[in-house]
Amino acid sequence: MTDTATSGLAALPTVGPLYRERAEPAEGMLEAACHAVYARTAARWRMAGRARAKRSARRAGAMAAEITALSDTDLRARATALHRSVAQAGAVSEALRPEGLAVIAEAAWRQLGLRPHPVQLAGAAVLLDGAFAEMETGEGKTLTAALAAALLALTGEPVHVLTANDYLATRDAGFVEPLLRFLGLSVGAVAGGMPEPERRAAYRASVTYGSGKEVAFDYLRDRLVLGTAGHARLRVSGLRGDDRRRERLVMRGLGACIVDEADSIMVDEARTPLVLSRDIEGELPAEVCHEALRIADTLSEGGDFAIDRTRHRVELTEAGEDRVAELSADLEGLWRVAPHRRDLAVKALSARHLFRRDEHYLVADSGVEIIDEYTGRTMPDRFWNDGLHQMIEAKEGCEVSGIRTPLLRLTYQRFFRRYRHLSGMSGTLVEVAAELWSVYRARVFDLPTHRPLRRQRLRSRLFPDETAKWSWIAGRTAEMIAKRRPVLIGVRTVDAARRAHDAIRARGIDARLLSAAQDKEEAEIVSEAGAPGAVTVATNMAGRGTDIKLAPGVAEAGGLHVIVAERHQSRRIDRQLAGRCARQGDPGSFEICVSAEDELAPRLVRHAPFSRSSLGRPIGLWLVDRAQARLERIHGRARARLVRQDQNLEGLLAFAGEDL
């Protein structure tokens, strides 16, 4: 479903002349410190908010009988009345919530054939509250978001529902369309590669679905149109009736936002700022890249440079610097200046040792394409900056492109803070509750499951090497298939997916591969992943939001079995992957397999024979656990630093005028 529905647009109250978004609050150091303390203490007492959400849900439930009795026409009339009062109030006040939820729930039942259960209603109430709901995977978050989005859209504000990827955006938009249409609202979806007019149409809809990245980039492009003077200029041109600038805008502003898989988008991805690049500006000559790579190849690790894998960074030692100077003595241009020389060497070394084909990037016809480490998809319009991209192109023998200079840079943190109403959901939020409060001033409420959870966790395993791991996984898969259970194997990289695939094929089992290289067949693969005996190997992308529906009879066989073939960057991603099984009361099981050769395995595990004794294995697994926790901490700090730097920069860069 890539088409966008824009009917019913005329009925919408028009948005004011302004591009609405929230001004960022200025905050002193002391305030920030208080909030940080609050985040770690009081923000965890989520009682009051949860009680309010449950009350709304209960009241909505109480009204259900009355509303069920209405005819379609009467229900529609009721919806219109609701629309009017919400639009008048300009917000979904607490008093309006029970009725609103009840009406929309009934509409959902009639249009989608799904009756929202109380947990979903409570979840929607949390979202309306501008908070975050932790709901167990498979609890029907899509419907929850739709309920809240529909109600929020009644205010006339633009409502964005952000998903983890384009696939989910299109899928969810298609799913909720009948419901919103019934309520006189429209829905749109944006996806990568969509032309501008279509995008504009999608944003003109009452509710717009899109991946976090797409929406954020659309916003960046809008900011560029608005220019430095921003709102003031827009207002003036509006008064003059000169709307050319407005016509170039894509969005209507940042009104309400519901972030599905909030931790993925707002926390994991928030580590790298969004950068909108201009087309070719300068250039890094191909021969310089080749020279740099040639020099880099003669340097030795340890002596000339060191690789910091945790922080993904290469450092040149003093000896290395001297060596580079020596090797480039007869070269011209940038090589003549020490800082440039150093810079080139570090870039070349990074290209050689840190960035791996099929893990960090793919080589396509058009050149090097970055793989999004969170979604596993390629991002053809994004580039590494300051010559790194060119270096990697040179390394892969592609044509070396020109350097793209950034036009605009925005952190996700700042982007989300500009929404006037920010809310979200995920199966894994509690771990990041403190961060959500410190950064977004948003609280997290965890909601219980609708039906008892029947997910079984099997013992984690530690293998001495990759080969042992893959062959065991293949054996395990065969075992499960014999029971007629489907199997999902979650891996971290495209490369690992390929290896898993090979190992399983070697056993004569047919497996589907779900990875960045082939995302066109995705929906089909997902829809078949629940069939008895189906084996699916998936990179991160399957970890979020994908609902693998069990085929008839599979539940009786024990449901989906998930093998987490490697520890990911955070426990949350592992939990998400495990959350693919045992959804909505179904049975299911998962297990975690780790090898001493995994990237996350600490050096101690790599070299000590933990995996060879039954006594050592728990220790080894625990060490891997610690390594994962450490990585999470490092990333957390990196994000905090990013936010801080962002604020500091604002002061420092004041001479450059207001930021966009």
Binding mask 520-559 for other proteins (x = CB under 8 A): ----------------------------------------
Find the part of the chain contacting other proteins (CB under 8 A) among 108-116, 340-348, 554-562, 615-623. Answer: 340-348
Distance, CA of 207 to chain centre: 19
Tell which phi-psi region holds residue 20, choosing left (phi > 0), alpha (psi between -120 and 50) or beta: beta
Q: How far is the CB of 46 from other proteins (least distance, A)?
A: 28
Report the residue from 197, 339, 397, 452 that binds other proteins according to the rule CB under 8 A: 339
Q: Does 311 bind other proteins (CB under 8 A)?
A: yes
Find the part of the chain contacting other proteins (CB under 8 A) among 200-208, 242-250, 334-342, 596-604. Answer: 334-342
Sheet architecture: strand order including 367-371? 361-364, 367-371, 378-379
Residue closer to other proteins by CB (options 195, 651) is 651
Q: Does 229 bind other proteins (CB under 8 A)?
A: yes
- Cβ(351)–Cβ(334) below 8 Å: no
Residue closer to other proteins by CB (options 62, 229) is 229
Q: Does 26 bind other proteins (CB under 8 A)?
A: yes
Q: Does 405 bind other proteins (CB under 8 A)?
A: yes
Q: Does 8 bind other proteins (CB under 8 A)?
A: no
Find the part of the chain contacting other proteins (CB under 8 A) among 65-73, 115-123, 406-414, 571-579. Answer: 406-414
- Return the residues of window 242-301 that contact other proteins according to CB under 8 A: 273, 275
Find the part of the chain contacting other proteins (CB under 8 A) among 174-182, 336-344, 358-366, 596-604. Answer: 336-344
**Closest of 159, 139, 174, 178 to residue 251, by C-alpha:** 159
Q: From CA 404, how far away is CA 357, in angstroms rounded? A: 21
Find the part of the chain contacting other proteins (CB under 8 A) among 331-339, 351-359, 368-376, 585-593. Answer: 331-339
Residue closer to other proteins by CB (options 247, 318) is 318
Report the residue from 336, 356, 507, 626 that binds other proteins according to the rule CB under 8 A: 336
Please report, for residues 207, 222, 588, the alpha-carbon distance to residue 19 in angstroms, rounded to integers and kept in the order given: 16, 10, 47
Distance, CA of 644 to chain centre: 22
Helix (H, G, I), strand (E, B) or coil at 405: strand
- Ordered DSSP codes for 586-649: -EEEEEEEEETTSTTS-HHHHHS-GGGSTTHHHHHHHHHHHHHHHHHHHHHHHHHHHHHHHHHH
Residue closer to other proteins by CB (options 127, 392) is 392
Amino acid identity, residue 279?
D
Residue closer to other proteins by CB (options 22, 409) is 409
Which string of b and e fits 73-91 if b means at least 16 CB within 10 Å? Answer: eebbebbeebbeebeeeeb
Q: Does 34 bind other proteins (CB under 8 A)?
A: no
Q: Does 25 bind other proteins (CB under 8 A)?
A: no
**Closest of 88, 211, 85, 207 to residue 152, by C-alpha:** 207
**Closest of 56, 145, 149, 159 to residue 99, by C-alpha:** 56
- Total number of residues binding other proteins (CB under 8 A)? 37
CA dihedral 648, 654, 655, 658 (to 10 degrees): 130
- Cβ(514)–Cβ(167) below 8 Å: no
Find the part of the chain contacting other proteins (CB under 8 A) among 120-128, 419-427, 597-605, 651-659. Answer: 651-659
Residue closer to other proteins by CB (options 282, 553) is 282
Q: Does 27 bind other proteins (CB under 8 A)?
A: no
Between the two ends of the chain, the Cα-to-Cα distance in Å is: 34
Which residues, 6+ apart, have CB-to-CB distance to 583 below 8 Å? 137, 138, 547, 548
Q: How far is the CB of 16 from other proteins (least distance, A)?
A: 23
Residues that bind other proteins (CB under 8 A): 26, 228-229, 273, 275, 308, 311, 315, 318, 336-340, 342-343, 385-386, 405-409, 641, 644-645, 649-659
